[in-house]
């Protein structure tokens, strides 16, 4: 057989197999309750996704008979699902029709500082009626998300967040699970009269704890139903977009096969009984229910101990009703070995930094005792590797988030936690220390790091790393006068 015929036959086989693997195994309409709107591409180039994104107040039905005046992107809650392929260019023409300044931050994306969406550091705030264009190439596959970075506890709490899925068709074919579900978890504080709860509710104590909304939303709604089929895998891509709430997910007796997180696929898959997501974190998990056909499951979130007052007198809460279709069990599914080779960052010569999360007697959060306003930027040079020891000296846990760069969390021996994973958000439990290693590649700028409990960030738990700024490498306590 001539070479090209063999090649063609081989290609046909590969395509036929992936087509086979990609056929849906779920009943019609299985995720109809959880549909997310897309967004129109106004650019003909297949490698450029160019979209319009408009922030405005919109009346939204959040389910169970409740309509609220939410803050929305393109009139939806959550904002539209932006779906791109890895390596594509994304152009977003943003328009602010809100009564407040805002910006759009692309959480977890390793993009140039000009599109990072931090007011006064990477761009001016977008004033009411104003516009801004974000334009960048998307470097990594994974589930990311976007949200404002101005008064973020208030604005995210009112509904400004949306998912950004960066696909790698090769990875998806290798995983071979056709049925994919994006789950944007959040909550919203809604009063009995239907008004949104004030972002100041509970005063300083509310800020210190981190305000959680009383309505738990999955893709912007309460009371939704998902249909699964016994034995048939679904790939759940989950983001915690709540401003303060941790989710600890339980699906009856079922298990989650976790294949990835913040920065795409992990080193290898692990099976878990529950999934914990701190605000800002993502999970990529395959679920193939063992439950009998015709049954019902519930996706619950169970109180997670994130410090004083977080579990006392609190009960599990319902996120989704899951109907198991009355249809024969799908037999024979076994997940292919899924993983991505992740090289441990070389720690030789790395700079060590200590960062402490503090809360002072005036109920102000800070980094090393200083609230954001008085904080001096840490420094890193381009190409520098740093090991950060982040110590939480407070009685509440804080999900640490670094803009623009992934890191590898280290264990007690200083080795990357297995399975290895690229993270941009990691929980720092109350009164504990977490260490991670990060390499600052060639994207100079003043990059934020902060707690992703957004009340805490607004309450002072924020800082900046000046990458490639003048002066090169310095320990944070050796930096010059505050430049904020």
Number of other CB atoms surrounding residue 309 within 10 Å: 13
Residue number, 109 or 322, with CB nearest to ligand C2O: 109
Query: Residue 343: phi, psi to the nearest 5?
Result: -85, 135
Question: Among Cu ion, ligand C2O, none, what does residue 307 contact (CB within 5–8 Å per kind)?
Answer: none
Task: Answer yes or no whether residue 149 interacts with ligand C2O by CB under 6 A.
Answer: yes
Residue window 103-132: x/- pattern of binding to ligand C2O, with contact defined by CB under 6 A: --x-x-------------------------
Residue number, 165 or 454, with CB nearest to Cu ion: 454
Question: Among Cu ion, ligand C2O, none, what does residue 258 contact (CB within 5–8 Å per kind)?
Answer: none
**Closest distance of CB 464 from ligand C2O, Å:** 11
DSSP string over 315-363: --EEEEEEEEPSSPPPP---PPP-----PPPP-TTPEEEEEEEEE-TTS
> Hunting for tokens 């943003």 — which residue is that?
94
Six token digits for residue 42: 């106004």
Task: Answer yes or no whether residue 215 interacts with ligand C2O by CB under 6 A.
Answer: no
Task: Answer yes or no whether residue 454 interacts with Cu ion by CB under 5 A.
Answer: no
Task: Answer yes or no whether residue 451 interacts with Cu ion by CB under 5 A.
Answer: yes
Residue number, 149 or 306, with CB nearest to ligand C2O: 149
Asked if 138 and 108 touch (Cβ cutoff 8 Å), the reply is no
Task: Answer yes or no whether residue 448 interacts with ligand C2O by CB under 6 A.
Answer: yes
According to DSSP, the β-strands at 275-277 and 247-251 are antiparallel
What lies within 8 Å, CB to CB, of 61 at 6+ separation is 67, 221
* Span between the terminal Cα atoms of the chain, in Å: 70
Residue number, 25 or 126, with CB nearest to ligand C2O: 126
Rule CB under 6 A: choose which of 159, 199, 231, 280 binds ligand C2O: 280
Residue number, 36 or 434, with CB nearest to Cu ion: 434
Query: Residue 281: phi, psi to the nearest 5?
Result: -80, 155
Asked if 179 and 124 touch (Cβ cutoff 8 Å), the reply is no
Residue window 66-95: x/- pattern of binding to ligand C2O, with contact defined by CB under 6 A: ------------------------------
Residue window 372-411: x/- pattern of binding to Cu ion, with contact defined by CB under 5 A: --------------------------x-------------
Q: In terms of Cα–Cα distance, which of 343, 340, 345, 342 is closest to 440?
A: 345
The residue at minimum Cβ distance from ligand C2O is: 107
Kindly indicate which of the ranges 141-149, 152-160, 255-263, 454-462 contains the residues binding Cu ion, using the contact rule CB under 5 A: 454-462
Kindly indicate which of the ranges 4-12, 150-158, 166-174, 450-458 contains the residues binding Cu ion, using the contact rule CB under 5 A: 450-458
Number of other CB atoms surrounding residue 61 within 10 Å: 14
**Closest distance of CB 226 from ligand C2O, Å:** 26
Distance (Å, rounded) from C-alpha 273 to C-alpha 252?
9
Distance (Å, rounded) from C-alpha 263 to C-alpha 401?
13
Q: Give the strand order in the sheet containing 317-324.
A: 225-228, 317-324, 296-301, 247-251, 275-277
**Closest distance of CB 178 from ligand C2O, Å:** 30
DSSP string over 253-287: T--EEEEEETTEEEEEEEEES-EEE-TT-EEEEEE
Residue window 401-430: x/- pattern of binding to ligand C2O, with contact defined by CB under 6 A: x-x---------------------------
The residue ranges that bind ligand C2O (CB under 6 A) are 105, 107, 147, 149, 280, 401, 403, 448, 450, 452
Binding site for Cu ion (CB under 5 A): 398, 451, 453, 456
């Amino acid at each position: 057989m001539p070479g090209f015929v063999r090649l063609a036959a081989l290609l046909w086989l590969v395509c036929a197999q992936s087509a086979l693997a990609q056929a849906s195994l779920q009943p019609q309409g299985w995720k109809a309750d959880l549909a997310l709107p897309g967004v129109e591409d106004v650019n003909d180039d297949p490698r450029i996704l160019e979209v319009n994104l408009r922030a405005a107040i919109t009346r939204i039905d959040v389910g169970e008979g409740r309509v609220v005046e939410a803050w929305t992107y393109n009139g939806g809650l959550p904002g539209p699902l932006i779906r791109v392929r890895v390596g594509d260019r994304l152009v977003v023409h943003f328009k602010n029709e809100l009564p407040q300044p805002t910006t759009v931050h692309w959480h977890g994306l390793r993009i140039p500082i000009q599109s990072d969406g931090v007011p006064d550091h990477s761009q001016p705030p977008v004033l009411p009626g104003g516009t801004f264009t974000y334009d960048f190439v998307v470097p990594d596959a994974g589930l990311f998300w976007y949200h404002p970075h101005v008064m973020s506890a208030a604005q995210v709490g009112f509904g400004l967040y949306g998912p950004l899925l960066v696909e790698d068709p090769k990875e998806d074919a290798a995983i071979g699970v056709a049925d994919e579900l994006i789950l944007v978890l959040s909550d919203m504080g809604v009063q009995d009269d239907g008004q949104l709860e004030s972002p100041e509710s509970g005063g300083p104590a509310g800020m210190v704890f981190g305000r959680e909304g009383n309505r738990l939303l999955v893709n912007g709604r309460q009371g939704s139903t998902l249909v699964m089929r016994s034995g048939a895998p679904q790939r759940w891509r989950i983001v915690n977009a709540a401003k303060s709430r941790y989710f600890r997910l339980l699906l009856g007796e079922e298990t989650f096969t976790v294949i990835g997180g913040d920065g795409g696929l992990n080193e290898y898959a692990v099976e878990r009984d529950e999934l914990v997501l701190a605000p800002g974190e993502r999970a990529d998990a395959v679920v193939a229910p063992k439950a009998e056909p015709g049954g019902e499951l519930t996706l619950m979130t169970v109180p997670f101990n994130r410090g004083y007052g977080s579990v006392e007198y609190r009960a599990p809460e319902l996120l989704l009703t899951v109907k198991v279709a009355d249809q024969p069990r799908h037999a024979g599914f076994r997940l292919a070995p899924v993983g991505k080779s992740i090289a441990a960052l070389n720690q030789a010569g790395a700079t060590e930094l200590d960062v402490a999360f503090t809360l002072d007697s005036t109920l102000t959060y800070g980094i090393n005792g200083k609230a954001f306003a008085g904080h001096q930027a840490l420094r890193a040079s381009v190409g520098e590797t740093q090991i950060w020891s982040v110590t939480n000296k407070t009685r509440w846990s804080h999900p640490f988030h670094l803009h623009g760069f992934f890191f590898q969390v280290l264990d007690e021996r200083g080795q990357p936690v297995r399975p290895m994973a690229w993270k941009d958000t990691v929980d720092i439990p109350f009164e504990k220390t977490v260490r991670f290693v990060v390499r600052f590649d060639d994207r100079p700028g003043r990059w934020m790091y902060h707690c992703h409990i957004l009340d805490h960030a607004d309450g002072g738990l924020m800082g900046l790393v000046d990458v490639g700024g003048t002066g090169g490498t310095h320990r944070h306590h050796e930096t010059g006068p505050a430049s904020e």
